[in-house]
Amino acid sequence: MDLQCFLCWKVVPLLLLLPGRFWCMKVHILNEQPVHVLPGSKLVLTARIEKDPWEEVSTITWAREPETGQDRAKVTLATCPAKTPNCSGGRPDVQMNLKQQETTLQINGYSIADSGEYSVTVIDHSGANTTGRCIVREYEAVHHVSISINMSHSTLVCHEAWGTEPSFSWLHERAAITQQVGRVSKDGNTLFVTMTPICGHFTCMVGNKLGYSSATYTAAPCESGGRGMTAAVVCLVLLVLVCGGVLAFLLWRRHRQNNRGERLYEHAGNTI
Ligand SMILES: *[C@@H]1O[C@H](CO)[C@@H](O)[C@H](O)[C@H]1NC(C)=O
Ligand SMILES: *[C@@H]1O[C@H](CO)[C@@H](O)[C@H](O)[C@H]1NC(C)=O
Ligand SMILES: *[C@@H]1O[C@H](CO)[C@@H](O)[C@H](O)[C@H]1NC(C)=O
C-alpha cells in the first residue's frame, strides 16, 4: 500500500470535514491486457472508478495514442460530463457510458487504426485527475509456421511469427502423437521425440480464431511396420509347427513303447 492509499483509508476518515483535500480516486481498465480485437468487430473497454462516497466525478475522458513511435499524438475519443450517462464521442461509431462506478467505451467496426494505448482519465470537482491505461491490438492471423530440429536433444520445436494467441498441435504421419512417438511440451510448441530412429513426417499445426497454418518436418522414411509384422507372424507359426511336430513324435513313440510292453507282459502271462 503506497503512502497515498494509506492516507486515503486511514487518515482521511478523520478529516471528513475537509473534503477534496486528499485525492483518493483511482480508475483502472478491467479488460485483460493486451486486448486483442478482430478487425470489423466491436471493441468494448470497461473501467472501474474507485472512490470514496464524498468524492464526485466531474468529467470522464477516453483517449488513444500510438503504442510505439516518436510521434505519440493523443486523440481524444470521448469527453463526457459525469451527469450524462450516455454520450457519443466525436465519431458516430464511438460511444461512452457511465453506470454507477463503471464507465465503458465502445467502438464499432474496429480497424487497425484503432490500435494503440487507450487511457481513461477521471477528473473530480477540484480538477484533480487519475488515469487508467490499456493496450489494444488487432487480432492477427497465424503467420510463418516453421519447425526446427534439435538433434542432440531429440526435440522438434515449432515456431510462429506474430499471430495472436497461437495454439500448437502435433501430428506424426497425420495421426495424433502417441507415447511410442513422443511427448508434447505443456505450451505445445516442443515435441520431445522418444521413437528411435526418428522417422516419418512430423506436422506442427498452429491455429487461432482466424484459422490454421502448418509446417512439416520430414525425417527418413519409417521401416514399413507391415512387413516386419508379417515376418514375425511367419516365424511364430513355423516355431509352433516344429514344436508341435516334436511333441507329437515323442507322444507317439511313448505310446508305442507302452503298447509293446503290455503285449510282452501278456505274452509272458500266457506262457507261465
Ligand atoms: C444508455 O445506453 C444504454 C445502452 O448502451 C441504454 O440501455 C440506456 O437506455 C441509455 N440511457 C439513456 C439515458 O439514453
Ligand atoms: C492531471 O493532473 C496533472 C497534474 O497532477 C496535470 O499535469 C494534467 O494536465 C492533468 N490532466 C488532465 C487531463 O486534466
Ligand atoms: C538443443 O536443446 C538444448 C536444450 O533445450 C539447448 O541447450 C541446445 O542449445 C539446443 N541445441 C541447438 C543446436 O539448438
Same domain for 209 and 168, yes or no, is yes
- Judge if 44 and 119 occupy the same domain: yes
Between CA 77 and CA 83, with CA 79 as vertex, the angle to 5 degrees is 145
Residues 170 and 120 in one domain: no
In tens digits, the chain (272 residues) has pLDDT values of 455 655 556 555 554 545 445 567 999 999 998 999 999 999 999 999 999 888 889 999 999 999 988 888 999 999 989 888 788 777 889 999 998 899 999 999 999 999 999 999 999 988 899 999 999 999 999 999 999 999 999 999 999 999 999 999 999 999 999 999 999 999 999 999 999 899 999 999 999 999 999 999 999 999 875 555 666 666 777 787 877 788 887 888 887 777 665 555 555 555 54
Looking at ligand 3, which residue's alpha carbon is closest to its atom 12? 150
CA dist 223 → 193, 196, 215, 219, 228 (Å): 17, 11, 23, 12, 8
How many domains in the chain?
2
Which residue range(s) make up the domain with 197?
A: 146-218
Q: Which set of grid coordinates corresponds to residue 150?
A: 534439435
pTM metric for this prediction? 0.67
Q: Which atom of ligand 3 is nearest to the CA of 152?
A: 1
What spacing in Å lies between the alpha carbon of 99 and ligand 1's midpoint?
Answer: 10
Nearest to 196 by CA among 180, 177, 212: 180
Grouping H, G, I as helix, E, B as strand and the rest as coil, residue 77 is: strand
Pairwise CA distance, residues 77 & 55, whole Å: 25
Of 191, 218, 245, which residue is a domain's last?
A: 218
Q: Is there a single domain that holds both residue 74 and residue 150?
A: no
Q: Is the CB of 121 under 6 A from ligand 2?
A: yes
Do 93 and 159 lie in one domain? The reply is no
